[in-house]
Structure 1
């Protein structure tokens, strides 16, 4: 997050384009893991912004461990998203370019999450939907995941 903080210190709240990566971890019952975000209180897929020098794969692995406490590896790129724009509660404006992956857990070990980013994690059945998504991008990821898993 140091890179984002440095850029924001220079740019203020003005609109910026940032790259990010997120993942969908589906359990044996077909439910997907989501995080309740500390910054907005909404639900979303674990993931976040790329640090300078990282790849999308490195980013999703790091962010998933920080947000959900689980070491993962990407199985398949589901979608590259670039059409959303969002204003955070603090006024920061962003157009994220997000790589959305289907992921699998590497082991059963669970790590502590960052309390500044995650309130809790929970599995949601794909035939339902969490009470409120973080933004349109996460709602779109939900639809992409539903379509991908229903076509198998």
Structure 2
């Protein structure tokens, strides 16, 4: 069922929703994390997004990572589930997301070189020097990922 979120929004308008998302952490040799600059909110987040009806978190992570970054990834390990906070989008939509975060590894594809309808650009950042982020949950996932990477 493609465009599940769009169909749901047509039914409920801007009413606050609880939605499921998946995101991936990809780090380079310098242990920097790849983030995407979003077209909708003009701040940075991890490549990832909403599950379509019937998808698993892992499947959504791989699909969304490709859509947001151009990079094909495989799941290396789950990092955690995050369910605190909400996001208010410029169009008035309000959501509380339940996000499963995965450590991912690049296995193909090419990083986007031009803007898309979801991503303006990609960049690697040090965990201790991050740009303006989408929301507190994004910050929380990055803190958890930094700690996870120290021990794995």
Q: TM-score, normalised by structure 1?
A: 0.93
Mapped to 2, the partners of 1:85 and 1:115 lie a distance apart of: 25
Match of 1:44 in 2: 45
Q: How far off is 1:28 after superposition? A: 1.3
- Name the Cα RMSD after superposition: 1.5
Q: TM-score, normalised by structure 2?
A: 0.93
Whether the 8 Å CA contact 1:66–1:114 is kept in 2: the answer is: no
Structure 2 portions without partners, runs of 5+: none
Mapped to 1, the partners of 2:39 and 2:25 lie a distance apart of: 19
Mapped to 2, the partners of 1:97 and 1:77 lie a distance apart of: 14
Pairing of 1:91-110 with structure 2 (within 5 A): 91-107=92-108, 109-110=109-110
Structure 1 portions without partners, runs of 5+: none
Q: How many residues align?
A: 150
Which SS does the other structure have where 2:117 is aligned? coil
Whether the 8 Å CA contact 1:64–1:70 is kept in 2: the answer is: yes
Distance 1:91 1:102, change over 3 A: same
Whether the 8 Å CA contact 2:20–2:50 is kept in 1: the answer is: yes
Moved over 2 A (4+): 111-114
The question of 1:149 aligning with 2:149 is answered yes
